[in-house]
């Protein structure tokens, strides 16, 4: 009898412990990821689906008892969780909004397609099918990717984006440059972590294809959209031409003129040669969540770089301007120590582009001896760049250019 009672007590404690463990596991999702108060019940259901964790194909957790393995583990066969009425109703509501081309709904739908939990796996195909955009109209296809880059985090989304890219770059150069700019800008709007290798690989190949068009059209001296045409006279140099235009309030430098006119040898200017001088603003935009730094000339993308920025989100969301550019810079560490160029503890590399702001001081862009920190939050607040990237940016980004810092979120 005593053994029977003891068995009941043990069973009760085990059941109570399971309930506590299950409750703690459910609460493990960070509060910042939970839907905000006031959202609809349907959106709460959808958000829970997207936050449900790894699904089919995820590696099983390692055993915690320290026992040695006696051989390969048996394959884990995912079991689809039952779909309740609330989830079905939420999906139906979402797909109605997708059909109406609601941008927020499209972004959320791509997030569901990207989710990998067993709870949403049975619905991903249905959602993906509704996201399909028929035809080859670029504007409609781009809108079908949503307002941020959630589409990059699924094979289906990247396939859809590939079709958009193909349509964009099949157009004549002026239209292709505008369309490629729009797609790549969208790709940077939202989260791309260092480990998101598939997403980054898509952006890289899309950018390389776009660069062919940009080098041919955006950097064509005969294309004076948003620019002035200038005829070289005897005694001219790119530096002298840039200086004369800066006196007129046009923010250019010799490197700016070189890259936008495809001039590889600055000493090769010819009398009567026509070059273009951009009057449209040159703006660098850092998207913190994707670690992408895009540089635009007017409405067109000129260059795109992967960068690092401030640890603990220390790089502020604001607008700076380029105030100074320094080659072989010294570095003043946060503790006040000053390290000259070439010192082992000088982390700035070959170049430093100093930013100006009425409130924030000490910010800029520079190289790094730690390339593994690119695409991470790791600096004291500055933008970290690879050696060749900062060398190129230093050459053409003019003093006075705006540097805009954004933190566009996307649902993951």
Q: pLDDT tens across 56-87, in order?
A: 333 333 333 333 333 444 444 344 455 678 88
d(CA 400, CA 406): 19
For 361, counting Cβ atoms within 10 Å of its Cβ (0-12 exposed, 13-18 middle, 19+ buried), the class is: exposed
d(CA 252, CA 255): 8
Strands 227-231 and 274-278: antiparallel
Q: pLDDT tens across 318-358, in order?
A: 999 999 999 999 998 888 899 999 999 999 999 999 999 99
Categorise residue 276: left if φ over 0, alpha if ψ from -120 to 50, beta otherwise.
Answer: beta
Q: pLDDT tens across 211-258, in order?
A: 999 999 999 999 999 999 999 999 999 999 999 999 999 999 999 999
pLDDT-derived band at 20 (thresholds 50, 70, 90) equals very low
Residue 316: phi and psi, rounded to 5, are -75, 150
- Going by C-alpha positions, the residue among 395, 383, 316, 392 that lies closest to residue 354 is 383
d(CA 192, CA 369): 23
Both tokens of 336, joined, read 């006040």
Cβ(144)–Cβ(131) below 8 Å: yes
Neighbours of 412 (CB within 10 A): 17
């Amino acid at each position: 009898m005593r053994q029977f009672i003891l068995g009941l007590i043990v069973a009760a404690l085990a059941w109570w412990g399971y309930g506590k463990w299950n409750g703690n596991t459910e609460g493990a999702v960070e509060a910042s990821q939970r839907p905000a108060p006031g959202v609809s019940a349907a959106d709460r259901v959808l958000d829970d689906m997207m936050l449900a964790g790894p699904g089919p194909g995820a590696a099983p957790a390692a055993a915690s008892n320290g026992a040695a393995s006696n051989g390969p583990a048996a394959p884990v066969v995912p079991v689809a969780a039952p779909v309740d009425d609330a989830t079905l109703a939420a999906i139906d509501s979402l797909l109605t909004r997708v059909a109406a081309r609601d941008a927020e709904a499209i972004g959320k739908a791509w997030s569901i397609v990207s989710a990998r939990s067993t709870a949403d796996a049975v619905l991903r195909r249905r959602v993906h099918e509704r996201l399909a955009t028929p035809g080859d109209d670029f504007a409609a296809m781009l809108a079908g990717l949503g307002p941020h880059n959630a589409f990059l985090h699924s094979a289906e989304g990247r396939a859809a984006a590939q079709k958009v890219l193909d349509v964009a770059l099949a157009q004549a150069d002026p239209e292709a440059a505008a369309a490629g700019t729009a797609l790549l800008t969208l790709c940077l709007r939202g989260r791309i972590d260092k480990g998101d290798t598939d997403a980054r690989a898509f952006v890289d190949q899309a950018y390389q294809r776009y660069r062919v068009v940009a080098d041919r059209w955006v950097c064509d001296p005969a294309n004076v959209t948003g620019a002035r045409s200038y005829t070289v006279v005897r005694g001219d140099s790119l530096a002298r031409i840039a200086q004369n235009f800066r006196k007129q309030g046009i923010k250019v430098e010799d490197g700016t003129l070189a890259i936008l006119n495809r001039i590889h040898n600055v000493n090769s200017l010819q009398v009567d040669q026509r070059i273009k001088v951009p009057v449209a603003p040159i703006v660098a935009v850092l998207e913190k969540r994707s670690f992408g730094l895009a540089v635009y000339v007017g409405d067109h993308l000129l260059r795109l770089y992967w960068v690092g920025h401030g640890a603990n989100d220390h790089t502020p969301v604001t607008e700076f301007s380029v105030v100074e550019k320094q080659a072989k810079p010294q570095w003043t560490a946060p503790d006040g120590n000053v390290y000259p160029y070439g010192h082992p503890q000088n982390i700035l590399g070959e170049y430093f582009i100093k930013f100006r702001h009425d409130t924030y001081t000490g910010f800029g862009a520079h190289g790094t001896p730690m390339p593994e920190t690119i695409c991470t939050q790791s600096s004291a607040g500055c933008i970290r760049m690879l050696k060749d990237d900062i060398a190129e940016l230093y050459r053409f980004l003019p003093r006075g250019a705006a540097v805009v810092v954004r933190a566009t979120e996307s649902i993951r």
